[in-house]
Amino acid sequence: MTPSTGYALEIVNLKKAFGGLPVTQDVTLSIRPGERRLIIGPNGAGKTTLFNQITGDMRPNSGQIRLFGTDVTQFTPYKRAHFGLSRTYQIITLFAQDTLEHNVTLGLLGLRPSRWQMWRPLSYYGDLTSEARRTLDSVGLLHLAAHPVSDIAYGEKRRVELAMALAQKPRVLLLDEPLAGLSNTERFAIKSLIAAIPRETAVIMIEHDMDTALDLAETVTLLNYGRVIVDGERDKVIADKRTREVYLGT
Ligand SMILES: Nc1ncnc2c1ncn2[C@@H]1O[C@H](COP(=O)(O)OP(=O)(O)OP(=O)(O)O)[C@@H](O)[C@H]1O
Ligand SMILES: [Mg+2]
């Protein structure tokens, strides 16, 4: 175990390629506890791939990932979740045919769907079912607990996923395009939930909707072709000539 550095998350010289095509190129980043970081960059810049390596869903080719000073590069996603890391996905990962309550209960365990044991009755999970109901209540969806996920609206699914990630009381939370595809009303609801996240949680958010996301961000990282192009305090990154060239197209 390496000694604590004071950072919530550190990424050091991370590299990842798919079939010889580099998608993470020497990425080095440090996130402080409680920081609000926005990750921007064009489609295919490697944003989601970076998240996948932080969570352990994908292994980097080289480099290191540290959570609160501990090298977690070789840890499984499950072990990282127990280390205070939680995420939402760009694509909804709830089980459509299963009830909201069952989805949330299993999600609270920090389990990936592949590890879910669907044959176990909810009673097997004891206290977690009441926590699942509290989680649904926190996003105003308790009345739908017994409904299959396929019955509820897209924006409601997004709320459930965010509430599930938050119920794990993460110290580092990764949000992959939480506002994508939402109506104005739904966007407002999700934005309020994100704004209310406790300060002890560091939030790292990938988002294309800059108008909404910039309000929530203190620092911004611009990625392009898997590289960090600009990184730092929000207004400085937005004013940077390279940001306008790469992302804003002006
Ligand atoms: N499992 C995979 N196998 C092969 N190539 C992949 C894989 N995952 C991602 N890629 C490629 O890596 C590149 C970066 O993809 P990634 O999903 O990280 O981009 P992104 O910045 O999240 O884009 P978007 O804004 O569209 O979500 C893309 O060219 C993509 O096709
Ligand atoms: Mg993506």
List, for residues 116-175, the tens digit of each pLDDT value.
Answer: 555 566 666 667 888 899 999 988 999 999 999 999 999 999 999 998 888 888 999 999
Tokens of 157: 């699914």
pLDDT in tens, 41-62: 999 999 999 999 999 999 999 9
Ligand number nearest CA of 49 is: 1
Whether the model clears a pTM of 0.85, i.e. scores above it, the answer is: yes
Nearest to 85 by CA among 104, 62, 64, 57: 57
Phi, psi of 174 (to 5 degrees): -105, 125
- From atom 16 of ligand 1, which residue's Cα is the shortest distance away? 46
Q: How far is the CA of 122 from the centre of ligand 2 (A)?
A: 33
Please state the atom number of ligand 1 nearest to the C-alpha of residue 45.
21
What's the Rg (C-alpha) of the chain? 18
Please state the atom number of ligand 1 nearest to the C-alpha of residue 47.
21
Question: What pLDDT, on a 0 to 100 scale, did the predictor assign at position 248?
Answer: 62
- Ligand 1 contacts (CB < 6 A) are 18, 23, 41, 43-49, 90
| Alpha-carbon span 129 to 138, nearest angstrom | 14
9-93+169-248: CATH topology: Rossmann fold (3.40.50)
Q: How far is the CA of 243 from the centre of ligand 1 (A)?
A: 20
Question: What pLDDT, on a 0 to 100 scale, did the predictor assign at position 115?
Answer: 52
β partners of residue 88: 175
Are 191 and 212 in contact by the 8 Å Cβ rule? The answer is: yes
Which sequence spans correspond to the domains of the chain?
A: 9-93+169-248
pLDDT of 107 > 90? The answer is no
Residue 81's pLDDT band, with cuts at 50, 70 and 90, is confident
Phi, psi of 169 (to 5 degrees): 45, 60
Q: How far is the CA of 76 from the centre of ligand 2 (A)?
A: 21
Question: What pLDDT, on a 0 to 100 scale, did the predictor assign at position 220?
Answer: 97
- Half-sphere exposure of residue 226, counting CA atoms within 13 Å on the CB side? 15
| Alpha-carbon span 198 to 157, nearest angstrom | 22
The contacts of residue 239 (CB under 8 Å, 6+ apart) are: none
Question: What pLDDT, on a 0 to 100 scale, did the predictor assign at position 249?
Answer: 61
**Amino acid identity, residue 190?**
I
